[in-house]
Amino acid sequence: MSALNILIGGESFREIRERNCYYVDKTDLLEELLASVPPKVSLITRPRRFGKTLTMSMLREFFDIQKDSRGIFEGLKVARNKELCDEWMNKHPVLYISLKRVEGLSFSEALAGFREIISLQSLEYTYLLQSAELSESEKDALRSLFSGTNDKTLLESSLQRISVALQNHWKKPIVLLVDEYDVPLACAQQNGYYHEMVSFIRNMLGAALKTNAALQFAILTGCLRIAKESIFTGLNNFACYSISDAEFDDKFGFTESEVDALLEAGNLSKRKDELKEWYDGYRFGNGTEIYCPWDVLMHVSKLQKNAEAKPQAYWNNTSGNAIVRSFIGRTDLNIGEKFETLINGGCVETKIVESLTYDSLHSSEENLWSLLYLTGYLTKASEEQIEDCGRLVDEDKTFLVIPNKEVRKIFTESIATWFTDSMLEMDRRPLFDAFWNGDADKLSRLVSRILLNTISCHDYKEDFYHAVMTGIFVGSGYAVTSNRESGRGRADIIVKDQRNSRSAVIEVKHASASADLAPLAEAALLQIDEKEYDAPLRDNYETVIHWGMAFFEKRCIAKFKTAVSH
């Protein structure tokens, strides 16, 4: 296996290039961006972990007049365009700021985070305080900003003031780069100070983007396009490029050919199928197929250390998956069946709302599906998938699917968590009474009712129903074990009630038709006897009971037998 120098989590373009780390060349974004006069403000939205910050770092290195970037761009696509490089490379002052750390439980905490970010700019722009091209009043404002001012009005004008100072010093308009511009708004919505943060961001960006004569152009990145009426009011030369747009559709994330080249370089081409199954499936623009770059690099790095490494849901270890959990539990929108359709490989049809505000995300079903689409949990269905749905395409609507195995795992794990939480909130006493008293008809009805309100995963079949029954007993005071060796085999579920000296063995079966439910439940009881699953329980509990349970879709039939009763 060839060793690839992969810098996991590397977001500095210069560091990746100077350390000779593997880099998937996306520098032709510059040619696309500069092919004509760029919009005054460009907003590029992509899901998290799709390379936004690394791309912004690359743009910064290319434009920044304080740097000499010829060496780190040597051999890359943009370097072949000598005319463009001569005109643009290291020709403009750059103001780069990332808002991904502007968060807190209160507006004052978030503002303190922003104040610290601006203060850190002094490390890079201290020379402005000595510039003969700046007035003393300009320098005083910069000193206040760099020292960590508490003046909210001054902070709102910070980007505009630093921009003007850079232009005055260098006698050239600046390139403004704002990474993860919407993170403060997402955090504010979660913690109850959204309107204060909207006002602050609107004033800050308004000063920097709308009334800033020092600006050559600005590029912003984020996950969502916040409605123009909310924070971009008055910006006329404003362009947004989301995952629905053809522009830049292959510049964030890895294309098929880029993944092929990466795997070939690492002598890992034989692992292509598993990477495709787990991390491919996103369709940007007019259908460009994209892999999640974070997952691909993580898995390739793992494979270099362990050739037997199995794919994982690496995305699941990053922040933000609570968004799926928050929607699954919604009872005011009729979405349960649609989530179930998605989990089982189907698609949902919806109108995509590209322009949202964080305080309206939960207000409608369309907003819900749009949010999951724009943040990468869902993607556009392929033509084949649309045909499988058996419906005509409505031009105003989009068919959405779960993109790959990784995201499907995130969904199913979120559903499992939701189900367990639901069980903890539910009054389960009638169900437990029926269970311990051997009331098979009542237990069948109650479990079927739970299934009717549960998002099921058909691919799991018996495992899914096994998880449902285990989840019912979680947090109830009983000791529950599953798939443990017992007697002459492995019992599906054993429930122990030590306080009342009673225990139960449950065997779960999945039926292929409703008519098979009763016979399968009887067969499950017979299996418990034949395999003697209750052998370890007989001498320790006064009462040992057997349950054979068969499931088909949302129906359950349970059969009961008392094995030991002293």
**Residue 91 in contact with residue 30, Cβ under 8 Å?**
no
Question: 174, 208, 241 — which closes off a domain?
Answer: 241
| Burial of 117: CB neighbours in 10 Å, binned 0-12, 13-18, 19+ | middle
Report DSSP state, residue 500. Answer: G
Report DSSP state, residue 556. Answer: E
475 and 395 inside one domain: no
229 and 155 inside one domain: yes
Beta bridge partners of 557: 550
391 and 475 inside one domain: no
150 and 223 inside one domain: yes
Going by their DSSP bridges, the two strands 174-179 and 94-98 should be labelled as parallel
Q: Quick check: is 315 in a domain?
A: no
477 and 512 inside one domain: yes
Residue whose entry in the numeric block shows the structure tokens 């770092």: 57
Residue whose entry in the numeric block shows the structure tokens 């795992």: 409
CATH number at residue 528: 3.40.1350
For the entire predicted model, the pTM comes to 0.86
Question: 223, 241, 259 — which closes off a domain?
Answer: 241
Report DSSP state, residue 542. Answer: S
433 and 551 inside one domain: yes
**Residue 507 in contact with residue 550, Cβ under 8 Å?**
no
Backbone angles phi, psi at 496, to 5 degrees: -120, 130
CATH number at residue 198: 3.40.50
Q: Quick check: is 264 in a domain?
A: no
Smallest CA-to-CA distance from 89 within 72, 113, 107 is with 72
pLDDT string in tens for the chain (566-residue length): 467 899 988 899 999 999 999 999 999 999 999 988 889 999 999 998 999 999 999 999 999 999 999 999 999 999 999 999 999 999 999 999 999 989 899 999 999 999 999 999 888 999 999 999 999 999 999 999 999 999 999 999 999 999 999 999 999 999 999 999 999 998 998 899 999 999 999 999 999 998 789 999 999 999 988 876 678 877 777 899 999 999 999 999 999 999 999 999 999 999 999 999 999 999 999 899 999 999 999 999 999 999 999 999 887 655 556 667 667 766 566 677 888 888 888 899 999 988 877 777 777 888 889 989 998 999 999 888 888 776 656 678 899 999 999 999 888 888 877 788 888 888 999 999 999 999 999 999 999 999 888 877 666 677 888 888 998 998 888 999 887 655 567 888 999 999 999 999 999 999 999 999 999 999 999 999 999 999 889 889 999 999 999 999 899 999 998 876 65
> Could you tell me the residue range of the domain that residue 396 belongs to?
322-410
496 and 439 inside one domain: yes
**Residue 476 in contact with residue 428, Cβ under 8 Å?**
yes
122 and 184 inside one domain: yes
431 and 394 inside one domain: no
**Residue 311 in contact with residue 407, Cβ under 8 Å?**
no
Q: Quick check: is 430 in a domain?
A: yes
Report DSSP state, residue 425. Answer: H
41 and 180 inside one domain: yes
Residue type, 443: L
**Residue 295 in contact with residue 376, Cβ under 8 Å?**
no
Q: Quick check: is 499 in a domain?
A: yes
Domain count, the chain: 3
Distances (CA, A) of 96 to 61, 251, 563: 10, 20, 72
d(CA 164, CA 134): 9
Q: Quick check: is 314 in a domain?
A: no
Confidence at residue 1, expressed as pLDDT on a 0 to 100 scale: 46
Q: Quick check: is 3 in a domain?
A: no
Beta bridge partners of 500: none
Confidence at residue 262, expressed as pLDDT on a 0 to 100 scale: 96
349 and 467 inside one domain: no
Confidence at residue 53, expressed as pLDDT on a 0 to 100 scale: 96
Q: Quick check: is 279 in a domain?
A: no
Count the residues in the chain.
566
Question: 410, 442, 471 — which closes off a domain?
Answer: 410
Q: Quick check: is 115 in a domain?
A: yes
75 and 164 inside one domain: yes
